[in-house]
Homo-oligomer: A and B are copies of this chain.
Amino acid sequence: MSGQTRLDQSRRSRPAHVAEAIKDWVVDKGLQPGDRLPGEAELIARFAMSKGTIREAMRMLQAQGLVVTKTGPGGGTFVGRVSKDRARALLANYFYFQQISIDDIYQVRIALEPELAASLAGRLTAAQIAELETIMETYAEPAPDADTERAQHVASLRFHARLAEFGANALLSFFIGFMAQILTDLTVYRRLYAEPNHELWREGRDHHLRLVRALREGDADAARAVMADHMRMARLRMGDQETVVMKRFIAE
């Protein structure tokens, strides 16, 4: 009889309904990333719907990063782990029509990053410390021109993003990484920094140096304090700029 999932009691379109059903089915079955979903033919039979409808449903899941498809023998649709980049892009879409200022971002950074720094003190591996120091080499010397300074700023944002990834808290890590991504995009697509400022450069670099030292020595309070200073300074540095609203779809 093929339990034909009772033609839409909702007002949702059929593909959306099918997509939700498949999502629920994946959760119920406890499928893991990489596990294979039924092929098109089987889904067509199971839901008693046409190929087109099933395919549209799959596209919806694909757009959310929940599945990936491969052609050819052994191919098909597989459960996918939503990537960090995709999650960031999807969330950025939400903020596309929201008013967000640089200062809004810094209000959150000031609250989160010192806490992160404190929680990481004494918990980084030698390799992780080394990676941070490698990133810092990018801005070991003052930038001679605006382009170089932009590259340095992107690198210093990467420093923060990597630091967040070193922590065990995936939620905190994502939030911080998301903000770093926004600031990176703003830096790349707009010229957020007018001209190199050696004084500010020195101050920022010193903060990173002192932060790494505190992290290595396991001094949580110092790490928190340095990061707090660092964020406050960066906020002022941005404060010169108008409260630019961020408006952009980040590419997937």
Q: How far is the CA of A142 from the CA of B15 in the complex (A)?
A: 46
Total copies of this chain within the assembly: 2
Q: Is the CB of A107 within 8 A of B84?
A: no
Q: Is the CB of A172 within 8 A of B104?
A: yes
Q: Could you say which of A63, A107, A251 has the most chain B C-beta atoms within 10 Å of its C-beta?
A: A63
Q: Is the CB of A59 within 8 A of B63?
A: yes
Main secondary structure of the interface of A (DSSP, over half): helix
Q: How far is the CA of A84 from the CA of B169 in the complex (A)?
A: 23
Q: Is the CB of B107 within 8 A of A119?
A: yes
Q: Give the distance to chain B from A169, nearest Cβ to Cβ, in Å.
A: 4
Q: Could you say which of A57, A64, A65 has the most chain B C-beta atoms within 10 Å of its C-beta?
A: A64
Asked if A223 lies at the interface with its beta carbon under 8 angstroms from chain B, I say: no
Residues of B within 8 A of A20 (CB): 251-252
Q: Is the CB of B115 within 8 A of A33?
A: no
Q: Quick one: given A60-B60, A62-B60, are A175 and B175 in contact (CB under 8 Å)?
A: yes
Residues of B within 8 A of A66 (CB): 93
Those of A192-209 within 8 Å (CB) of chain B? none
Q: Is the CB of A64 within 8 A of B90?
A: yes
Q: Is the CB of B98 within 8 A of A170?
A: yes
Query: Considering the complex of A and B, which 6 residue pairs feature the smallest CB-CB distances, nearest first?
Result: A87-B94, A60-B63, A111-B115, A63-B63, A82-B94, A98-B170
The 29 listed contacts between A and B (C-beta, < 8 Å) are A15-B59, A16-B63, A24-B249, A52-B52, A56-B59, A57-B59, A59-B59, A59-B60, A60-B63, A64-B64, A64-B93, A66-B93, A82-B94, A86-B94, A87-B91, A87-B94, A90-B90, A90-B91, A94-B174, A95-B170, A100-B170, A100-B171, A104-B168, A107-B115, A107-B119, A107-B171, A108-B172, A111-B111, A111-B115
